[in-house]
Amino acid sequence: MLGVCSPLRQATRSTTWSSATAFNDYAVPYHLTTREFHRLVADHLTDDGVYLMNLVDGVHHDFLRSELATLRETFSDVGVFIPASGWPPLGDRNTFVIVAANHRLPAGLPIVPAEGIAPFLASGRKVILTDDYAPVDQMLAPVFSRAIRRPDF
């Protein structure tokens, strides 16, 4: 794992929340999307802690699907805040906010329920993202390709 994760690996304190907001448009630091990184985050959350992650995807939504599946390997409850465009996601690029915890997420959050995430996960390609295999760039290639064909790019 890259040196960026070293401070987290060496941290001794726990936190009630953590967020991954290093993603910038199409430049995704893949090492922050992996099961191994999520385990480091989970190890440093308190029992009532919550992990938030923003993610950009579109077209086939393979990256979103893969990230949700990967987070479910570590966290017992994973949700997606309902995007303005609705659920399931359709079309071009969109920003998604994912929330994960090892306890029930609070009721009343505007998130897609587990019953809505399961069919989405089953509807297309997904891989568990690991330090050894995280094809994030390949999953985002159709999103980028579509964007550069637009006149406002």
- The model's pLDDT over 25-48, given as tens digits with 9 standing for 90+, comes to 667 888 889 999 999 999 999 999
pLDDT tens digits for 71-88? 999 999 999 999 888 899
**Range with the largest mean pLDDT of 4-13, 14-23, 48-57, 67-76:** 67-76
Kindly state the helix (H) or strand (E) to which residue 147 belongs, with its residue range: helix 136-148
Class of domain 16-125: alpha beta
Please give the backbone phi and psi of residue 23, each rounded to the nearest 5 degrees, phi first. Answer: -75, 135
CA–CA dist 152, 74 (Å, integer): 39
pLDDT above 70 coverage of the chain, percent:
80
Judge whether 65 and 59 are in contact, CB under 8 Å. Answer: no
Judge whether 41 and 147 are in contact, CB under 8 Å. Answer: no
Check pLDDT > 80 for residue 20.
no
Check pLDDT > 70 for residue 111.
yes
Q: What confidence score (pLDDT) does residue 21 get?
A: 58
Please give the backbone phi and psi of residue 47, each rounded to the nearest 5 degrees, phi first. Answer: -60, -30
Residue by residue, DSSP assigns 38-78 as HHHHHHHEEEEEEEEEEEEE-TT-HHHHHHHHHHHTT-SEE
pLDDT above 90 coverage of the chain, percent:
49
CB atoms within 10 A of CB 133: 10
Q: What confidence score (pLDDT) does residue 112 get?
A: 93
Return the C-alpha torsion angle 48, 79, 99, 146, nearest 10: 170
* Per-domain residue ranges of the chain: 16-125
Q: Across the beta sheet with 15-20, what order do the strands follow?
A: 15-20, 45-57, 94-101, 77-80
This prediction's pTM? 0.85
